[in-house]
Copies of this chain bind each other. A is one copy, B any other.
Amino acid sequence: MTNQELKLKQAGFKITTPRQLILEVLKKYKTPLSAKQIYQYLPQIDLVSIYRNLKLLTNLKIIFQEIINNETFYYLDKKIHHHIVCQRCGRTECLPCNHKYKIKNFTNISHQLILSGLCNHCH
Cross-chain contact A107 with B111 (CB below 8 angstroms): no
Which chain B residue lies CB-closest to A113?
B82
A29 to chain B, nearest CB (A): 20
Which residues of chain B come closer than 8 Å to A112, judged between CB atoms? 66-67, 80, 82, 113-114, 116
Interface SS of chain A: helix, strand, loop or mixed? strand
Cross-chain contact B86 with A118 (CB below 8 angstroms): yes
Cross-chain contact A114 with B91 (CB below 8 angstroms): no
Which residues of chain B come closer than 8 Å to A98, judged between CB atoms? none
Q: Check: A108 CB closer than 8 A to any chain B CB.
A: yes
Q: Which residues of A contact B (CB under 8 A)?
A: 64, 66-70, 72, 78, 80, 82-89, 91, 93, 95, 103, 105-123
